[in-house]
Structures are given as structure tokens and as C-alpha cells.
Amino acid sequence: MTSKKTVILLSDNKTLMEIFMTVDKAIFKPFKTQRTFEEVSSKIKAFIFDGTLQAGDKLPSESELAKQFNVGRQTIREALRILELSGFIIVKKGYGGGAIIKDSISKKIKNLMLDAFRMEKISIDEFTAARLSIEKAILNKAIDNADDQDINALQENIDKAKDLIAKKEIAIDLNFDFHSLLAKASKNAVFVIVEGAINAIHRNIRSRIPPDFEISEIAVQNHEKILDALIKKKRESAISLIEEHILKMRSIYK
């Protein structure tokens, strides 16, 4: 019997809709009894997790999904809404629109973390303490796992930031990106997600004070020292440098 993943690979010769409409190979099977929208969304998530559905794939229409799942269209609408809010799909309106598989979960997590930060009225000291622990752990792993590609990306980031500084321009975005690149260099997907949330909160804090050339210049200088220590695998020096860097930022924000 042809597997689900094999069926999807056949999409080179068939449209996704044609595959879904094939009676013997339709991946969305009706439930034996009426199910809730949570169960429908969970089933679609399962197809995403196992690779049957991948980023860029377009789901069938609401009516076709309702038919294949043997549920009402309102149930499908609710399921799609949950999937969209969770970051699994985007829903495009108008001609040629519809539900499309898209991984924007990390962005959703960042937004949720930022909302929690605002709602809980977290202090600068609390944020700094958490950031210190997380970023020191990230750097520690980056020292062990960074490859040539990671080093080049970090160096390129610093070079671009230094070019801006030389022109007396601030390098805020590049300075934030440096920390994202460190997380990527750790080779730990959890760190990448968590650092994304830390960056989102940090950007919110940073936006509360006017752009400052000196702050940006100091950050670039600190990043260059951190990268040098990372390359030379001077662990204690690198950890000390990033701690000094983060604490300096705290003193500016307070």
C-alpha cells in the first residue's frame, strides 16, 4: 500500500487537491462519530508533525475538509482558527486564498512571552537575571558547538555593525541579531526559541529609551570581544564578558 508520505511526493505530477480528492488515497478520513474542532485541528497537526503536510502546502477548502472529516463547516472554521492562532497555518483571503501550512510558531511564542512580560509587569532586574542565565548557557554551548559557518556569520554581523558605527550610525538590529546567531551556534533548537523570546522582550525594553550611538558602539565592541573569546575557546573569559555586557545594559535601562 502506498504510504502517506509517498502520496505527497506524487504532488510533482498531481496537485495537492487532486491527491486529497482521490478516494483511495485521501489523507483526511471521516471520524466515525461527530468530533470537536480540537480533534480536527489535532489531526491536521499530526499530519504536519509526521511530514505528510509541509510548509507551503495548501489545505482543501472548508467544504471539502468538512466532507472528508465528516463534520460541519463551522467545526472546520474553528479548527482552522485554532491552527492559525497557534502558528501552524496562515489563511489568505480572496481569489486563490485559503489555509496554507506555515511555521510561524516561534513568532507566536515570542509574542506570547512579550505579552506575559507586559501583563506581569516584570522588572528590569528580573528580566536581566533570567537573560543572564539563559545567555551564559547559550554561549557555553556555542563555544562547544559553533562551526565555521557560525563563526563566519557572527564575524559578518560584527563587520556590518562596525561599518555602521564608522558612519556614525546606530546598529541596533545587528546587535540584536548577534545574540540570535549565538543561539543558532549553540546547535540547540530550544535555545533558539528561548533567545527569540528574550530578544522580543529586550527590543521592547530598548524601545523605551531614545536611540543612542554610544550604547550601540559599546555593544559592538563587547560583541567583538565575546566572539574573539569564543573562537579561542576561552570559556571563562567569554562568560565573564557576556555577563559584563548584559549588566551594562541593565544599568542603562534602569
Is residue 143 helix, strand or coil?
A: helix
Higher-scoring residue by pLDDT: 250, 107: 250
- List, for residues 152-208, the tens digit of each pLDDT value: 999 999 999 999 999 999 999 999 999 999 999 999 989 998 998 898 889 888 888
In angstroms, rounded to a whole number, what is the distance separating the alpha carbons of residues 88 and 107? 11
Whole-model pTM: value is 0.64
- List, for residues 104-143, the tens digit of each pLDDT value: 767 777 777 777 777 767 788 989 999 999 999 999 999 9
204-221 in b/e burial notation, b at 16+ Cβ within 10 A?
ebbeeeeeeeebbbbbbe
In angstroms, rounded to a whole number, what is the distance separating the alpha carbons of residues 46 and 48? 5
DSSP E strand stretches across the chain:
89-92, 98-101
- List, for residues 57-84, the tens digit of each pLDDT value: 899 999 999 999 988 899 999 999 989 8
Walk me through the domains of the chain, giving residue ranges and CATH numbers: 4-103 (1.10.10.10), 107-253 (1.20.120.530)
In angstroms, rounded to a whole number, what is the distance separating the alpha carbons of residues 230 and 144? 9
Q: List Cβ neighbours of 161 (8 Å cut-off, separation of 6 or more).
A: 171, 174, 175, 178, 216, 220, 223
DSSP E strand stretches across 48-193:
89-92, 98-101
